[in-house]
Amino acid sequence: MTKHVVDLNSDLGESFGTYRIGQDELVMQYITSANIAAGYHAGDHNVLRESVERAALNNVGIGAHPGFQDLQGFGRRSLLLDPEEIYNIVVYQIGAVQAFAKLFDKELNHVKPHGALYNIAARDKDRAHAIAKAIYDVNEDLILFGLAGSELVKAGDKIGLKVAQEVFADRTYQPDGTLTPRTESNALITETEEAVSRVIRMVKDRKVVAVDGSEIEMQADTICVHGDTPQALEFVHHLKEGLEANGILIKRVGS
């Protein structure tokens, strides 16, 4: 029988100056891939270096986490950028994380867009293509993390990137497979047991129940736990235990 294998990732490095967000040092112990903010939606040069070094010490896959240039809105507000500008902001931010990775003799492993940029690319073909092309042009060996079944995944496949289809432990889904907007009251899952059971089903059965009760088919190559949520450490700890108890191997994408 084929063993189920999945990557476990978290969005990290999102502190800024004296403002501390998340429990990166503790969360890093449980994940296989880290999506590290590159300074546009969160993070700064000091946090970026610290985060990359921590990932290197923990043998965690280092990923760039590019977003819109919107610190105050944490990259979760949509900006009306054309595809050419989106291409440039993604190249710029990949370069920042890649440079720090080199300091620690590590290769950049993957790229995962953040927040509003990620959600726009999930449904907008032109902007999805701009992101995929930016990644490919910087390094065609980088892995693109995108929402399972989305336009971003399709754009990555089309351009020739290796793609990891991503599912979320702490978010609910709409019937079309998109994430429920954070402005909705039912967007987040806060109960650990519910999150773990949903993820296990996504990995083993490739299905998840949407907010209207319908079932969606979904491939899970990598699972995201948001590092900025209060229950992130509890989630990722119990998620790792739950996956292993169900015979699911946790392994970094590309390793």
pLDDT of amino acid 22: 84
d(CA 75, CA 16): 14
pLDDT tens string 77-106:
999 999 999 999 999 999 999 999 999 999
Query: Given a cut of 90, is residue 66 above it in pLDDT?
Result: yes
H/E stretch holding 118:
helix 115-123
Whether 143 maps to a domain, the answer reads yes
CATH number at residue 36: 3.20.20.370
Whether 207 maps to a domain, the answer reads yes
What is the C-alpha radius of gyration for the chain, rounded to an integer number of angstroms? 17
Whether 21 maps to a domain, the answer reads yes
Q: Using pLDDT thresholds of 50, 70 and 90, give the confidence band for residue 1.
A: very low
pLDDT tens string 98-154:
999 999 999 999 999 999 999 999 999 999 999 999 999 999 999 999 999 999 999
d(CA 139, CA 80): 26
Total structural domains within the chain? 1
Whether 255 maps to a domain, the answer reads no
Q: Which domain holds residue 118?
A: 5-250
Determine the angle formed by the axes of helices 83-103 and 45-57, rounding to 10 degrees. Answer: 60
